[in-house]
Every structure is written in structure tokens, then in C-alpha cells.
Structure 1
Amino acid sequence: MDEIKAILIDDEQSARNVLSNLLERASTNINVLDSCNNLESGVQKIKEQQPDVVFLDVQMPNYAGYEIARFFDVISFEIIFVTAYDHYAIKAFELNAIDYLVKPIDRNKLDIALKKLEHKLHQQASLVDYHSLLKTIKDKNYKKIVIPELGNRHILNLTDIVAIEADGAYSKIHVVNKATIIASKNLKFFENTLSEEPSFFRSHRAWIVNLTYIEFLNKTTLNLTLDNGTITAKISRSRISSFENSI
């Protein structure tokens, strides 16, 4: 595809220089339009130059990077966040399926992020609601998750997910009202992402269930009935004790 236009926003000159040099050596054709040392000036440059992607530092003076949602009614560009080891920020990015890089930036991980960026731009994937991300990080209360599905993204309330079923390299997200979404992430991804959500339980190598929807456990057939009988999940015999302690 044609060159990808980028803007870098980071309050540290050295960090901007390092990232700029890495992007110059990357196999992806990136044209860095501008480099800014704070969010306010970065927002102005974004509005003037209309980049395809913004590489955005998370922690900066005055405004944190994720507060970019305050300045736009619609985010019409992709964002790759650059962050130090911030537990809450990283957790929120994972839940919202947003690309991020951890400082110091690893060249291989940058290349992976750029390949994903190329794919997103090529597919014209719908963009995440960054206002939701902002609230997620500030509240430290993860109530929504973005499910990637074949170039699109579904924003779901965690409380609407009844169960998640393994489907090879993909996962089936069973939600209320009998709907099913095929997510382009495997079950291990969702297990890690939801590890701190007490309502979600890994009942079987192929299933994660939402405990709030459990209706019945059959210890003979090793089946779990959920959501008024609309879904039947499996439970491993070795997980029954942990399951009963979690209810």
C-alpha cells in the first residue's frame, strides 16, 4: 500500500528520536509528518495534517496520551500507544483491543504492530470508541471489551458475555439473546484478558463461562447449563471443586 502518514507525540525528545529512527528502518513505509512534545500541540498537528496513525505516549505533563478523546468527536486515525509498565493502562488497552508498545521499544514488536496497522488500514477496520477507553483507564473499572471480528470490532459489555468457546485459533463469544460472535483471538487471549474478572471462570480447555449465568451443573455428564438453558458448556472433572468454590 502507499506510505502511511504518522505523527509522534512524546514529551521526551530522546524517545521521539529513538522511535523515529526505528520507523525509518522498518520494512513498512512510514512517513513521519511531525513530532510533538505534548498532547495539545499534537492535537493541532493531527487536525492540520490528517495522519493515518499517531504514536502516542501515555504519560505526559498536562494531559495523558489516552486523554486524546477529549479533543475529538470522532477518531479518524489509528493510535498506537507507547507506554512504560503501567498495569492499569496496559490492561485497558488489552480489553479495548488497541495496539500498544512498551518502552524501551522492541524492534520486532514494533514490526508486528506495523503489520497489524497495515492490515487495519487496508481493511478499513472500524475504530474503537476512545472515549470508552478514557473512562476505562480513569475508573480502573473494566466493564467493556472490544471483540475483533474479521476486520471489525464489537464493543460489548462484559455482563452481556455468557460464555466463550474455543474454536481453533478463533473463539466463539456467546452473548445474551442467543447471539454468537466469532472473534479472531484464541481462548488463551481471553483467559489472560479476563483474569482479574471474578465472574469469568475457565471451566474446561475449550470453555470460559460467566458465573452469573450458570443455571445447572451436571456432574455426571460434566455439562454446565447457562442462560436459561440456551447454552451448554463443558466442565473438566478436575475443575469442579474450584467451580463450586467460585459460585
Structure 2
Amino acid sequence: MTTTPHHEGRTALVTGGSRGIGRAISRRLAAEGALVAVHYGHDHDAAERTVEEIVTDGGRAFAVHAELGVPGDADALWAEFDHGLAAQDAAPGLDVLVNNAGITLPRSIANVTEQDYDRVFAINTRAPFFIVQRGLERIRDGGAIVNVSSVTTRFAYPAIIAYTMSKGAMDTFTLALAKELGPRGITVNAVAPGFTETGINPTLRNPEIRRNYSAESVFDRLGQPEDIAAVVSFAAGGDAGWTTGQRIDASGGVRI
């Protein structure tokens, strides 16, 4: 991967950074010069593969394990992050935080249990809230926070109602956080992917669904993780320093 070193000398943490969109973001930021902490919840092998890919390409990265959506998750994540930084002989602190980790819940309102609802909000909404809260002292002035949202927060999508609600909360979080952290020069933006080719969406194995999702974009194709990673890299970089509190659509023009 050949890219301009927009993030040279910076340290980044990508939650859910070992697979799908997160993996592409981790690789993109590393290719642009960042030392990347690749967070994972369960798939150790995927995290190690992503780190190995980054190192093979000439970048720097290390894996960070913490299960999200459980009590104490944010503290556990930051403890692992601090330990990993020390092992890399890197300076303490963080320049870029990407809140990417999340789960889907493909169920209409009639089929969502209380346990389903609590879990999707615990991982998609509560975890990033407290990751930011516990990380405020680590994030350097002039840094960036990028929250991965969803295109489905701007139109009705009853089939995934609880998931969409959890991402809508992240859009609101982005606005409030941008205002609070503005005096420190920290930008906070949300990036909203559309229908993207990742393993998180098992319905994409169905050819008819793939065609329908592709047709939603003005480009008549599914998004690729690298498409989203490019937008996240921009939002996290110095060129976006005058852009904050925004929800950046990265859907390929879905339903415009």
C-alpha cells in the first residue's frame, strides 16, 4: 500500500481494528506513518494477522485485547494500550482514536429482546462513550476522534432498528464532544459507511441482496473497506483540522 504520510509520527488506536472496515483503517493509518494499536475483542488470530500485514508493509503496529460491552471494558482497553505502547518504547499518549468496534442486530422491533437491545447499545454506544471518557487525558491536544456511524441514521430502516438507534446516539455524541474538545484543538467527526463488503453482514452472501444493496449506491456497487478507511484517514488528519462535529457520508451516495 503506497500512500502519503499524513500521520507520520502519530499514534492511533482503532477499536475493532483487526477485521473488515477496522482492518482497512488500521492498515491505512499505518501506511501513512502512524503507530497503530489494533484493538480486538475475541479474534486474536485476526489481530495478529493485521499487525503482521502492517509490519510486512513497513509500518508499525501492536495488538490490544479488551472485550467491549462488559463492565470495566474501557479501563481494560486503556491498560492494554498503555502496556503495548511501553513495549513499543513509544511515548505515552494518543493522537487519533477511531471508535469503530460494533455489532449489528438484523431484527425488527417485534423480534428484539431486552438482552439484544442492551448488548447492541453496550458495545456500539456505551463502550465508546467510556473509552473516550477514560482516554481524555491520553489524547493529545490537536488530535482527532473519529466515530464510525452508519448511513442508516439518515433514513428509515426498520429491519435493524436497535442498531440504527445505537449509531444515531453516536452522531449526537459526536456533536457534543466536538464542542467540548474544540478548545483543545481536537476534532471529532463521524464517518457513516453505507452497504460495505465485510463479514459483519452475512446477508451479502445472497446474490439478490447483493444486487439490491449495490443498486442503492449511485456507483452501482458495494463499498469496500478501503473506501471507508480513506475517509476516516482524512477525518483524522491535519487536512480536516477545520472540520469538526460533522457526520461525513461515506456511503457511495446511498439514497441521495
Q: TM-score, normalised by structure 1?
A: 0.37
Larger Rg: 1
Q: Which has the higher helix share?
A: 2
RCO comparison, higher one (Cα < 8 Å, 6+): 2
